[in-house]
């Protein structure tokens, strides 16, 4: 997934890369890439050692719904504009960019190594950014029955869903124990 930038010049150069889902198979992430991932855009040398990638990143990943625990697919479609610098310059450029009124928000900043940009990392970053804090298969997901574990999106169980205040439950238990000791 490496993009050779060692012979790059100042003009825009097209980048079109496609990776099958299997290319991301051995990752220990909270999601599973289930469709092909694509990076389509341009790359150019900016000033000296800085290289700029402007691209559209598309992919699709499977995550588990936080309510019903069923897997579902999230499409990823992101525009990236990232400046790549060699590791030796990274700290310097970060400080410089941060000094210019929050430009970091608009520009991603990353390192390149041995004259190559790792496009796999570019895709992974977008997958992580697209990952919801609380994944939900649908906004209206009814989740699992806390009593029998049935998926309430698919079946209606006969459990009673009465909410009992845990403090009241403790009091009731204490009372009944008290009655027994008295009796």
User: Would you give the binding string for Zn ion spanning residues 103-142, x where CB under 5 A is met?
Assistant: ----------------------------------x---x-
Among 147, 169, 170, 171, binds Zn ion (CB under 5 A): 147
Among 15, 52, 131, 145, binds Zn ion (CB under 5 A): 145
- Closer CB to Zn ion, residue 146 or residue 183? 146
Q: Which span (24-32, 45-53, 59-67, 101-109) binds Zn ion, by CB under 5 A?
A: 59-67
Which residues, including other chains, have CB under 8 Å from residue 74's CB and lie 6 or more apart? 31, 60, 61, 62, 63, 130, 131, 132, 135
What is the total count of residues that contact Zn ion (CB under 5 A)?
A: 11
Q: Give contact residues for Zn ion (rule: CB under 5 A).
A: 65, 67-68, 137, 141, 145, 147-148, 150, 157, 159
């Amino acid at each position: 997934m490496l993009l050779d930038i060692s012979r790059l010049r100042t003009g825009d150069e097209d980048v079109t890369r496609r990776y099958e889902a299997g290319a991301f198979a051995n990752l220990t992430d909270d999601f599973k890439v289930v469709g092909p991932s694509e990076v389509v855009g341009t790359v150019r040398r900016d000033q000296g050692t800085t290289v700029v990638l402007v691209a559209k990143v598309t992919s699709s990943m499977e995550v588990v719904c936080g309510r019903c625990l069923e897997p579902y697919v999230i499409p990823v479609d992101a525009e990236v504009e990232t400046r790549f610098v060699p590791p030796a310059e990274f700290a310097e450029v970060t400080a410089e960019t941060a000094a210019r009124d929050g430009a970091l928000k608009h520009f991603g900043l990353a390192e390149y190594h041995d004259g190559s940009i790792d496009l796999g990392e570019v895709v992974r970053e977008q997958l992580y950014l697209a990952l919801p804090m609380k994944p939900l298969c649908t906004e209206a997901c009814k989740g699992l029955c806390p009593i029998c574990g049935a998926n309430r999106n698919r079946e209606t169980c006969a459990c009673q869903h009465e909410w009992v205040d845990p403090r009241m439950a403790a009091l009731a238990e204490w009372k009944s124990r008290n009655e027994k000791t008295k009796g």
